Each structure stands twice: as C-alpha cells, then as structure tokens.
Chain A
Amino acid sequence: HLATSLPLPSERDHFRPRIDLIVFMIDIKSKYSLRNVEASLAHVDASFFLGKVCFLVTGVGRVNACSIETNAVCKLGETYCSPVLFCELELEGIRVVTAQRLLRMLQICAGHIPGVSALSFVSLMRNSDDD
C-alpha cells in the first residue's frame, strides 16, 4: 500500500489488511520529505516500533543535491529504534537489491520465517559501543 502521509484515509479502513511493515521513504533531496515523515511518525502506534518500522533514504547517489544531513536521519532511526537503509532508486541494481532486502524484512515481520521475529531487528540495532 502506498500513501503520501499518515494518518491513512479512514474511508479505506475496511479494505486494509493487517500492516506488517511500515517503510518511511525520505528523499534526501527534499527537506519537505523529512518533515512529512516526522509528522507522520506521530500517527504510528507504538507497537510498530518493535521492528516493524524502517526508514528508507532515497536519492543518495546525487551527492550534489542533498538537502538533508545523514546525521539527522540516523538520529531519527535511533530515536525510533528502527533501521535506516540508504539507496539510490535510479540505479536498477541498487533498486533490486533494496527491494530484496525490504522483502526479506517483510517476510520476517509477517512471521513467515520460523525462528526469527521482528523483535530481532531491535536487538540488531543496538550499537556495540552502548554496552
């Protein structure tokens, strides 16, 4: 399901299946994109932040056009205990690999991989320096 922002329109509530993974896409060329994601995060139920949220930063190939600092995004990831992925959608190879990673994460979040749950992502997020 694609949406431009949260909350989702309520008129479609009965059409919607269970949501297993939320990927927030941030375009590194657009400050508006980051602000939109920050505003939308407020509408996400806390339970999603146990591994069912991920940040995808796009457009990183165009170094000259960056409007957002990677620090800001990484901080966002830390605050919400969610992984941050960087990719460049204009390159087909990276696009495909990123899609495969997200698909893998989705499989885990949906419970399709025995022995691994979304909570694993949270523990993987912990920086080894923290301890």
Chain B
Amino acid sequence: MDETVAEYIRRTVLKIPRDEIKTMLQKWGFLSEAQLQTLNFHQIKDNISQEVVQLCEENSADIKQAAILDIIYNHIYQNKRMWSVYQMKKSGEELEYFDITDFKKKFKGRLRSALKNVTITFKEYEDNAIWIRIAWGTPYKKPNQYKPSYVVYHSQTPYVFISASVLKSNLPLLCQALIVASNYHDIREMELRSHSLNSLKDIVFKRYSQNFQTYYPKPLQEGNVEPESADIRIVQENRSEKERIHRLNQEAFGGGPQPKLEFAQYRLETMFKSDPKMGVLDKREPFRCLVKFSSPHLLESLKSLAPAGMADAPLSPLLTCIPHKARNYFKIREKKGLFPESFVSP
C-alpha cells in the first residue's frame, strides 16, 4: 500500500472522535466485520489509527477507498465546513432523464481532460444526494488529498452545494464540469452561505415552514402567546401589544423552526444622509459600509428580537426576507429616481 495513502487513512481516522470510529469504519465497509473485531477501541486514538492502517495494508487499500472514508467523515460532520450554493440553468424546457453513470462519466471526463492529476470520488446517499470529492493537483504535482473540494448535487434539482477547498482557482473548472455532466448550460453562485448544509437545502428546496397568505384572518388564539400555566394572578398589562408582536412575527417568520444561518452581510453603497448644514462628507459619493450580523442561529435570534423587546415589530424586510430570497449577502444601493430610497439589488 502506498505510504501516502497509509498516512492519509491514519490522519482521517485520527479526526474521528473515538466513540464514533467503529460505526464509521462499519459504514465504510472496507474492513470486514472479523477485522473490526480485532480492533481495540479502548486504547488511545494514535494506536487505534495505527491498527486500522495495518488492516488496510492487509486489504491493499488505495486512494479510492481512502477517499470514500473521507466522504463518509465529511458527510457526518458536514457542518464543520462552509457551504456555498450554486444554481444551474437549463437552456430549454426538455425534461431529461437523469442517468447517474452518464453524469459520472461526463464529470470525470471533463475534469480529467483539463487536469490530469485529480482524484474524483462519488458517493450516493438515500436522499438523492450525490456527494463528489475532488482532490486537486497540478500538471506536475499529485493531488493534494488534504485540501479537497466537496460537491453535493441533488439530481432532481438545479442546485449544487459546494464546499470549496482553499484552492479557489479550480472553481471555474469545477463549475464547468458540473454543467457539462448534468446537461445544464449555465451556473451561477447564489449569495447564500452557511455551515449548516441541511439549512441551505431547507432554504432553496423551500422545506422550512413558510407563512402563506390567507384571505381569512385567523381568530387570535391566546394560547399561542404565553403559556397560561403561569400563575393566573400575574396580569400582563401589555397583552394586546404582545399579541400584536407575536402575530407579526408569525407572519414574517412562519411558525416552525428556522433554517440555521450564521450570518447576514449587507454591503451598503448608499449616500450618507445628514443635516446639510453639518457639511459632513462634502463629496457626493456613496458611503461605503459593511454591516454584518452574526449569531449561532441568526434567524431564530432575529425572530426573538421583537418578543424580547429589543426591536420594534415588524422587523425590517431586509432581515425577514433572508429565507424567502434565499440569500444572506446583500448589496444595498440608492434607488435612482424621484424618491431616493435604498433598494436591494438583485
């Protein structure tokens, strides 16, 4: 077995938390159950990984198998990576039958024709997700297995989720290979990024609970606002205000859990509005400013702002439109016209 493969497997196993190693190796399926029985999972990880490498040696593992183990690790710990969303466009309306073998062949063919030194690995999951791992090399260097890119493609959708490696220069090539393989004619990066892959999927596949406009206003259910199990001797003077805020919040965010995003970024290119007599910023130039909201769970915290009394309800549509517009990066420019107001650029 190649020394580099051995080292790569050793390092991959070291990344796995000790309690998870056995399950992951079972998922991998490269080592037999009998071989797994011989492993002592109660020793320090260094020793476990050495034993695993030993067994892989017996089975003559190559980089292909090692790459699959890496995909399995990254599939389970997908939230450690930062994912971007790309949308592909078809030229016509033809509904083509998706053939996975054809896809793989075209993808590999396109990449390899441009770059000889690449390691390409595929793994399909039950939810129609195709995971692709690409380790990039150069015409003179073997692929760097430690900085791969990951692509997640749901074949029934035009969306691709990419966790690029640091080597961003390979991105155009990757995009090209994707559209060729999937029979689309264009691909563009959406302004949507997060660590939570599932939340990104929820947003673009519209799987989160949205609020649908109804024509009959529902009668207010008092039970929604605060649990009445609190002492009935406590009287909330501002109940109607609390209910108004709750109702507006429900309209803006819907009733269910929000997709998990870590930040929203607004790049302002608007004019600075001040008292003309103050003479601040004489130059009539846009005032460049970047506003970034970060949170472990941005949308839930935005949802709780008004009920917590920290913001007025309704919240600015710039904040509440994030899941609907499927973006968390915004550019705000002046609206040119009679009434100069800021507007969100597409």
Interface residue SS majority, chain B: loop
Residue A42 is within 8 A (CB to CB) of chain B in the complex: no
Residue B169 is within 8 A (CB to CB) of chain A in the complex: no
Segment 245-295 of B: residues with Cβ below 8 Å from A:
none
User: How many angstroms between the C-alpha atoms of A32 and B241 in the bound complex?
Assistant: 19
User: How many angstroms between the C-alpha atoms of A1 and B237 in the bound complex?
Assistant: 6
- 0/1 string, A1-25, CB within 8 A of B gives 1: 1111100110110010000000000
Q: Kindly list chain A residues whose C-beta atoms are within 8 Å of the C-beta of B234.
A: 1-2
Q: Kindly list chain B residues whose C-beta atoms are within 8 Å of the C-beta of A12.
A: 237
Expressed in whole angstroms, the minimum distance between the Cβ of A33 and any Cβ of chain B is 9
Q: Kindly list chain B residues whose C-beta atoms are within 8 Å of the C-beta of A15.
A: 235
Say yes or no: A1-B309 contact (C-beta < 8 A), given A9-B240, A9-B241, A11-B240: no
**A2, B240: Cβ atoms closer than 8 Å:** no
Segment 114-141 of B: residues with Cβ below 8 Å from A:
none
Q: Kindly list chain A residues whose C-beta atoms are within 8 Å of the C-beta of B236.
A: 1-3
Q: Could you count the A-B residue pairs with CB atoms below 8 Å apart for me: how many are there?
A: 26
User: How many angstroms between the C-alpha atoms of A78 and B46 in the bound complex?
Assistant: 67
Expressed in whole angstroms, the minimum distance between the Cβ of A13 and any Cβ of chain B is 11
User: How many angstroms between the C-alpha atoms of A9 and B243 in the bound complex?
Assistant: 14
Expressed in whole angstroms, the minimum distance between the Cβ of B157 and any Cβ of chain A is 44
Q: Kindly list chain A residues whose C-beta atoms are within 8 Å of the C-beta of B37.
A: none
User: How many angstroms between the C-alpha atoms of A12 and B242 in the bound complex?
Assistant: 14
Expressed in whole angstroms, the minimum distance between the Cβ of A39 and any Cβ of chain B is 14
Expressed in whole angstroms, the minimum distance between the Cβ of A87 and any Cβ of chain B is 19
**B237, A3: Cβ atoms closer than 8 Å:** yes
Interface residue SS majority, chain A: loop
Expressed in whole angstroms, the minimum distance between the Cβ of B226 and any Cβ of chain A is 11
Residue B238 is within 8 A (CB to CB) of chain A in the complex: yes
User: How many angstroms between the C-alpha atoms of A2 and B238 in the bound complex?
Assistant: 8
**B235, A1: Cβ atoms closer than 8 Å:** yes
User: How many angstroms between the C-alpha atoms of A57 and B104 in the bound complex?
Assistant: 65
Which among B234, B237, B309 has the greatest number of chain A C-beta atoms within 10 A?
B237
Segment 215-246 of B: residues with Cβ below 8 Å from A:
234-238, 240-241
Q: Kindly list chain B residues whose C-beta atoms are within 8 Å of the C-beta of A1.
A: 234-237
Q: Kindly list chain B residues whose C-beta atoms are within 8 Å of the C-beta of A9.
A: 237-238, 240-241
Expressed in whole angstroms, the minimum distance between the Cβ of A126 and any Cβ of chain B is 33
**B235, A4: Cβ atoms closer than 8 Å:** no
**B241, A2: Cβ atoms closer than 8 Å:** no
User: How many angstroms between the C-alpha atoms of A32 and B309 in the bound complex?
Assistant: 10
User: How many angstroms between the C-alpha atoms of A32 and B308 in the bound complex?
Assistant: 12
* B236: nearest chain-A partner, CB-CB: A2
Q: Which A residues lie at the B interface, using CB under 8 A?
A: 1-5, 8-9, 11-12, 15, 32
Q: Which B residues lie at the A interface, using CB under 8 A?
A: 234-238, 240-241, 309-310
Q: What would be 9 A-B contacts, judged by CB atoms less than 8 Å apart?
A: A1-B235, A1-B236, A2-B237, A2-B238, A3-B237, A3-B238, A4-B237, A4-B238, A9-B238
- When A and B form their complex, which 8 residue pairs have the shortest distance between CB atoms, in order from nearest? A3-B237, A1-B235, A4-B238, A8-B237, A1-B237, A2-B236, A3-B238, A4-B309
